Amino acid sequence: AQSVSQHNHHVILSEAASLELGCNYSYGGTVNLFWYVQYPGQHLQLLLKYFSGDPLVKGIKGFEAEFIKSKFSFNLRKPSVQWSDTAEYFCAVNGGNDYKLSFGAGTTVTVRA
């Protein structure tokens, strides 16, 4: 069965600090990988996704993620966070054609001004 683990439950940063959120997955076959974000009071929305090709993917709002197949990881990064990046971040995995997303537990990121 697929599983997704996110390393940090809550991260607190100051503005302009760098952010890295860890995500590891367990799945034996081809995977598609996603990071979703939920800003306070808003819907879940897609930050970025990886299907194939360049393992370094860029998303919205300056976020990027790197897929390392040998480590079953898909870590999210942002070089310099802003107060508006305060949100909950979810890593998700889709395995082949199973038509579902398996989510990690989420990481709450608080950015202090």
Based on the shown chain and the rule CB under 8 A, indicate whether residue 101 belongs to the binding site for other proteins.
yes
Based on the shown chain and the rule CB under 8 A, indicate whether residue 102 belongs to the binding site for other proteins.
yes
Instruction: Output the DSSP codes for the chain.
Output: --EEEES-SEEEEETT--EEE-EEEE-SS-EEEEEEEE-TTS-EEEEEEE-SS-SEEE-GGG-EEEEEGGGTEEEEEESS--GGG-EEEEEEEEETTS---EE---EEEEEE-
Residues 41-100 that bind other proteins (CB under 8 A): 43-46, 49, 51, 90, 92, 94, 98-100
* Min dist. Cβ of residue 33 to other proteins (A): 9
Contact residues for other proteins (CB under 8 A)?
32, 36, 43-46, 49, 51, 90, 92, 94, 98-106
